[in-house]
């Protein structure tokens, strides 16, 4: 029996080898077959969850996980990126990896200028006025016909200018605005949200009628985050101050992000909330992670969580970078990046491994050698691959202060700039402006830096031409818009187009939309 079984196995092996040899000799294995095989392999790899493990660096933390729903499993029912196939830009920097690459723009030839198409003026209210602040990215959506029909049947907020392409943005004047993408006119009546909004709103990629909005400044009560029911044009869910939080500051500049059946929402109160997404502006809290670094007090999270598979990554305002297992909410590893982290982590995946890029500000550092640190980390274990640093300063003006360092979220290059990463730094080398930097993302080598007037908090965006050459647009705090050739840093256009661009833009084709502190929501095109 054993001998017969061995002989059968040998026959199978011989047949398999002959089949491979025949296919190789006859040329029946096409490039398409190889690509299909690679796609299948990649799809299968993406179904495999990362392990439920904890590295020694987690010992730096004390934390507790509150499970509010003990019946529903916390395991993600999907590891795919739900933003990959949506018709628009639904959350900060486009999706789970916060890399903005899926939503790169398109231009012809070498563009030379930026032209304004329209401006929508918000109202102004209180100390913060109107328009948008940091990080203030709008949502852009092209509604399917089924959704448009449903809105027309149920929403009392639609105007005569409601159309299939819509901009949705939160404002410092305590309102949520809806704007027709084509003509810049009001597509729905504004919704009062009770407090200024500084962060980026987030549209649920399931088209379930939910829009997520975080409040930024506590001028009124309640103060927290909310879900909007777009079908009824009203607030459907509100989370107020959390008495269990490690930090008594309930703002939410972080843009929440969906993974599987859940929504993950970091807070400036030192808590990461995990919600079940019910649709129609309703959320059900599943669990919450509250943490502190040992010997420290609670830190807040202003950056937006980046996700790959079942691991989530974020930085806080004490310089901590954490990886957590989204299934269990347990920390996986911790890395200390020296100082306040506001810019969101960007993920790039290579051979199934997520690599993280993150930089800090100069806020908490003392002494004469204050520096901005920018790092590349292995997302599976938190190991540092390279680190670059630059002297920076924090300037004081009466009771106000301006922190140096990184506020934007970096842009990873493709096309002729593949292998490069770009970002701006404020007050580098103790200067009073910002510089725009380009690095080799594999080695950390500085490729070039270009001075920009004033500060630059807004995140850079990319446009590619028919030759796949990258051109970058970035704004600054004095209202300048710059058009930069990605490969060598040549500034092709530099002009004041508003009063202050703190917010980050969204891109469609050769068009981008961005808010300013002067009360305007602007649409521009690159030509």
State the Cα–Cα distance between residues 437 and 30, nearest whole angstrom: 42
State the Cα–Cα distance between residues 329 and 326, nearest whole angstrom: 5
State the Cα–Cα distance between residues 18 and 125, nearest whole angstrom: 77
Percent of the chain scoring above 70 in pLDDT? 91
Which sequence spans correspond to the domains of the chain? Answer: 56-526
What does the block give as tokens for 160? Answer: 């005569």
CB contact at 8 A, 342 and 332? no
Q: Which residue has the higher pLDDT, 46 or 146?
A: 146
State the Cα–Cα distance between residues 74 and 261, nearest whole angstrom: 9
Q: What is the mean pLDDT of residues 286-304?
A: 95
State the Cα–Cα distance between residues 492 and 482, nearest whole angstrom: 8
State the Cα–Cα distance between residues 276 and 266, nearest whole angstrom: 15
> What is the secondary structure of 424-470 as a DSSP string?
EEESBTT-SSEEEEEEETTT--EEEEEEESS---SPPEEEE-TT--E
Lowest-pLDDT choice from 2-6, 371-375, 523-527: 2-6
Residue 92, pLDDT score: 98
Residue 385, pLDDT score: 98
Lowest-pLDDT choice from 9-13, 280-284, 323-327, 483-487: 9-13
State the Cα–Cα distance between residues 80 and 308, nearest whole angstrom: 9
State the Cα–Cα distance between residues 469 and 466, nearest whole angstrom: 7
Q: What is the mean pLDDT of residues 213-240?
A: 98
Please choose, from the candidates 500, 493, 527, 496, the residue with its C-alpha nearest in 3D space to the C-alpha of residue 514: 500
State the Cα–Cα distance between residues 521 and 292, nearest whole angstrom: 38
Q: pLDDT at residue 33 above 70? A: no
What does the block give as tokens for 303? Answer: 């950056």
Mean pLDDT of the chain: 92
Strand residues in 193-319 grouped as ranges (E): 202-203, 210-214, 225-229, 234-239, 257-259, 262-266, 271-279, 282-293, 306-308, 311-315
Residue 15, pLDDT score: 35
Sort strands 434-440 and 420-426 into parallel, antiparallel or unpaired.
antiparallel
Strand residues in 123-182 grouped as ranges (E): 139-142, 165-170, 175-180
pLDDT in tens, 368-397: 899 999 999 999 999 999 999 999 998 877
Residue 402, pLDDT score: 84
Q: Can you give the pTM of this predicted structure?
A: 0.92
Residue 44, pLDDT score: 61
Distance of CA 376 to the CA centre of its chain: 17
State the Cα–Cα distance between residues 147 and 217, nearest whole angstrom: 33
pLDDT in tens, 77-108: 999 999 999 999 999 999 999 999 888 999 99
Provide the pLDDT confidence category of residue 19 given band limits of 50, 70 and 90.
very low
List, in order, residues 6 or more apart from 44 with CB less than 8 Å away.
Answer: none
Q: pLDDT at residue 448 above 50? A: yes
State the Cα–Cα distance between residues 373 and 394, nearest whole angstrom: 14
Q: What is the mean pLDDT of residues 71-79?
A: 97
Please choose, from the candidates 14, 4, 47, 25, the residue with its C-alpha nearest in 3D space to the C-alpha of residue 352: 47
Q: pLDDT at residue 113 above 50? A: yes
Q: What is the mean pLDDT of residues 477-487?
A: 97
Q: Which residue has the higher pLDDT, 257 or 37?
A: 257
Residue 130, pLDDT score: 97
Residue 47, pLDDT score: 80
**CATH superfamily to which 56-526 belongs:** YVTN repeat-like/Quinoprotein amine dehydrogenase (2.130.10.10)
Q: pLDDT at residue 292 above 80? A: yes
Q: Which among 5-14, 291-300, 335-344 has the top mean pLDDT? A: 335-344
Q: pLDDT at residue 478 above 70? A: yes
Q: What is the mean pLDDT of residues 448-476?
A: 97
Q: pLDDT at residue 39 above 70? A: no
Sort strands 461-464 and 105-106 into parallel, antiparallel or unpaired.
parallel
Q: pLDDT at residue 40 above 60? A: no
List, in order, residues 6 or more apart from 168 with CB less than 8 Å away.
Answer: 138, 139, 141, 176, 177, 178, 179, 201, 203, 211
Residue burial 49-78, b: 16+ Cβ < 10 Å; e: rest: ebeeebbebbebbebebeeeeeeeebebee
């Amino acid at each position: 029996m054993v001998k017969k079984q061995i002989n059968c196995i040998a026959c199978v092996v011989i047949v398999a080898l002959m089949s491979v040899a025949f296919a190789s000799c006859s040329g029946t294995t096409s490039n398409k077959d190889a690509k299909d095989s690679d796609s299948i392999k990649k799809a299968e790899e993406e179904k495999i969850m990362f392990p439920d493990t904890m590295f020694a660096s987690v010992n730096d933390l004390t934390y507790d996980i509150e499970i509010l729903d003990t019946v529903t499993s916390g395991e993600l029912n999907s590891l795919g990126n739900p933003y990959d196939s949506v018709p628009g830009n639904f959350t900060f920097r486009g999706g789970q990896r916060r890399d903005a690459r899926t939503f790169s723009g398109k231009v012809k030839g070498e563009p030379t200028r930026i032209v304004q198409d329209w401006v929508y003026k918000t109202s102004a209210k209180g100390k913060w006025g109107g328009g948008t602040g940091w990080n203030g990215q709008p949502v852009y959506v092209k509604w399917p016909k089924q959704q448009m029909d449903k809105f027309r049947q149920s929403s009392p907020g639609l105007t005569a200018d409601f159309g299939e392409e819509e901009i949705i943005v939160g404002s410092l004047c305590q309102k949520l605005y809806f704007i027709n993408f084509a003509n810049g006119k009001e597509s729905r009546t504004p919704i009062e949200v009770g407090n200024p909004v500084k962060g980026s709103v987030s549209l649920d990629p399931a088209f379930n009628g939910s829009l997520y909005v975080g409040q930024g400044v506590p001028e009124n009560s309640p103060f927290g985050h909310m879900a909007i029911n777009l079908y009824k044009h009203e607030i459907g869910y509100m989370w107020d101050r959390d008495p269990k939080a490690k930090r008594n500051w309930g703002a939410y500049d972080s843009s929440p992000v969906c993974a599987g059946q859940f929504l993950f929402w970091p807070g400036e109160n030192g808590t990461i909330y995990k919600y079940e997404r019910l649709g129609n502006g309703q959320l059900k809290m599943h669990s919450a992670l509250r943490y502190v670094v040992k010997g420290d007090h609670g830190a807040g999270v202003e950056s937006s969580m980046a996700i790959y598979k079942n691991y989530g990554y974020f930085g806080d305002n004490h310089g901590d970078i954490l990886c957590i297992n989204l299934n269990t909410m347990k920390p996986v590893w911790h890395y200390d990046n020296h100082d306040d982290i506001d810019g969101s982590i960007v993920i790039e995946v290579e051979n199934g491994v997520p690599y993280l890029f993150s930089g800090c500000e100069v806020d908490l550092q003392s002494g004469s050698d204050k520096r901005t640190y920018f790092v590349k980390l292995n997302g599976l274990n938190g190991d540092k691959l390279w680190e670059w640093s630059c002297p920076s300063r924090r300037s004081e003006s009466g009771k106000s202060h301006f922190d140096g360092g990184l506020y934007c979220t970096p842009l990873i290059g493709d096309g002729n700039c593949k292998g490069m990463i770009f970002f701006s730094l404020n007050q580098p080398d103790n200067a009073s402006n910002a510089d725009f930097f380009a690095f080799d993302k594999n080695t950390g080598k500085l490729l070039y830096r270009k001075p920009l007037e004033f500060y630059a908090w807004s995140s850079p965006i990319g446009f590619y031409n028919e030759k796949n050459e990258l051109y970058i647009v970035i704004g600054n705090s004095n209202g300048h818009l710059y058009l930069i050739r990605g490969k060598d840093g040549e500034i092709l256009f530099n002009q004041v187009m508003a009063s202050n661009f703190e917010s980050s833009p969204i891109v469609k084709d050769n068009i981008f939309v961005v808010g300013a502190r002067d009360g305007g929501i602007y649409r521009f095109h690159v030509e």
